[in-house]
Amino acid sequence: MLSKKTKYAFHALTFLGKQPNNIPVVISEIANRTKLPKKFLETILLDLKKSGILGSKMGKGGGYYLIKQTKDISLAEIIRMFNGPIALLPCASLNYYEPCEECEDEAQCGLNKMLLKVREETLKILVNKTLFDIISAEE
């Protein structure tokens, strides 16, 4: 399951992705239109900015706007950022790898091998689907 933060990020991105010419939109408008809690949304937008997906402008006429192309923002990327690893266990993750305490020999562990495969196949799905596809699916 995705956290609410992750879900909110998708909603905010979808909204901004539909904005014409990527004109900056202020937080409160994004919050109103997407029905997301404003203060919580702030932290999300900030994270998206820090990772280079959004840009921002302070002061009058400011707000947040999309920098990356919607086709270049994959589900995997957003999920990793807000939800953590794609893999089902840390021992099967490439980006967030950590060994299991109870596991004597990982190279022997059938669960690990299986979850590595699952991760691989899941990633294929999540990398190929983008914000563009989400927006295209609307209406």
Partner DNA sequence: TATTAATCTATTAAAACGATAGATTATATA
Partner DNA sequence: TATATAATCTATCGTTTTAATAGATTAATA
Nearest approach in angstroms of CB 18 to DNA is 17
CA dihedral 44, 46, 52, 55 (to 10 degrees): 110
Name which of DNA, its own copies, none residue 39 binds, using a CB cut-off of 5 to 8 Å depending on partner kind.
DNA
- In the chain, the amino acid numbered 113 is K
String marking each residue 51-70 x if it binds DNA according to CB under 7 A: -----xxxxxxxxx------
Contact between 99 and DNA by CB under 7 A: the answer reads: no
Nearest approach in angstroms of CB 84 to its own copies is 6
Name which of its own copies, DNA, none residue 102 binds, using a CB cut-off of 5 to 8 Å depending on partner kind.
its own copies
Range 50-72 burial, b when 16+ CB lie within 10 A, else e: eeebbeeeeeeeebbbbebebee
Name which of DNA, its own copies, none residue 44 binds, using a CB cut-off of 5 to 8 Å depending on partner kind.
none
HSE on the CB side for 23, CA within 13 Å?
6
Contact 88, 115 (CB under 8 A): yes
Give residues in contact with DNA (CB under 7 A).
3-5, 8, 24-28, 37-40, 42-43, 45-46, 49, 56-64, 84
